[in-house]
Amino acid sequence: MNFQLLKKRIKKNEGFSLKPYKDQLGFITIGFGHLVLQKEKDLIKNKINKKKLEEVFENDFNKALKDFNLYLSQTTSTKKDSELLIEMIFQMGLSSVLKFNKLLYHMRKKNKHLVCFEMMKSLWYRQTPNRVKNLIIYFLKK
C-alpha cells in the first residue's frame, strides 16, 4: 500500500505548528499533531525546525502503522478500511480506537454505512467534527 496520500491527508487534517499549543483536550502538542510526552520536553524548550518535526511525524505515523498491523489489520478488508483505522490510531492512539467496538464489528461485516454511523455518534465526532465528516466522505466514495 502506498501511504503517501494517507500521510498527506493526515498532515492536512492535523495542521502544523512550529510552536507548542494546547489541543482541544488541553494537551501540549507540536508539529503535525504530535502529543508532547513528559520525556520530550526538549521539543518545546529548544527552538525546533520543520525538518525535525517531519521526523517526529514519520515516527508517529510508523507507530500508528505498526499498531494497526499488530492489532487491527485483520479487521479490514479494503484499503479505505485500513487507512481509516491508521488515521484514527494516529489521532487518538490505539487504546482509544480499540474502544470503537461497534465500528470495528461493522467494518468486519463490511457495512460501510454503519461504520460511518458509529463515527458520527462518537465523542471523536463531537471533538473534531470537520475531520470526521471529511473521513466519512472519503470512506464512502467509490
Summarised one tens digit per residue, pLDDT across range 91-124 is 999 999 999 999 999 999 999 999 999 999 999 9
- Say what the pLDDT of residue 66 is: 98
C-alpha dihedral over 62, 66, 67, 68, to 10 degrees?
A: 100
DSSP calls for 64-115:
HHHHHHHHTGGG--SHHHHHHHHHHHHHH-HHHHTT-HHHHHHHHTT-HHHH
- Say what the pLDDT of residue 48 is: 87
Between CA 119 and CA 8 the distance in angstroms is 21
Between CA 119 and CA 132 the distance in angstroms is 7
For the stretch 42-95, pLDDT in tens is 778 778 899 999 999 999 999 999 999 999 999 888 999 999 999 999 999 999
Between CA 79 and CA 111 the distance in angstroms is 15
Q: Which residues are catalytic?
A: 14, 23
- Say what the pLDDT of residue 25 is: 85
- Say what the pLDDT of residue 2 is: 79
- Beta strand 34-35 with 28-31 is antiparallel
For the stretch 12-36, pLDDT in tens is 999 999 999 998 889 999 999 999 9
Q: pTM for the full model?
A: 0.94
Three-state DSSP at 38 gives helix
Three-state DSSP at 30 gives strand
